[in-house]
Amino acid sequence: GVFGYIFSPIASLFSYFSYIFLKIVIEIVTWFASLSFSLVSIPEIPLFWVVLAYLLIGLYIWFEKDKKGL
């Protein structure tokens, strides 16, 4: 309706500014990705250790919540 005619030019204007900043961010990320030390290989963590870690974190939060009476 009417809002499309009013806000469409304003949205186009803002989109140009957004595009400029997005283009800058993409160029910076691309440049950093091209560096030789940008790739770090991390060995695979077994599922057991991931589940155990989340369980311990959950238990810690649970007991801390009970101590504070929340």
Structure confidence by residue, pLDDT tens digits, 3-59? 667 788 788 888 888 999 999 999 999 999 898 877 788 899 999 999 999 999 999
- Distance in angstroms (rounded) separating the CA atoms of residues 15 and 8: 10
The pTM assigned to this predicted structure is 0.47
Q: What distance in Å separates the CA atoms of residue 49 and residue 57, rounded to the nearest whole number? A: 12
User: Which amino acid appears at position 3 of this protein?
Assistant: F
Q: 30 near 24, Cβ under 8 Å?
A: no
Give the C-alpha separation, 15 to 28, whole Å. Answer: 20
Gyration radius (Cα) of the chain, Å: 24
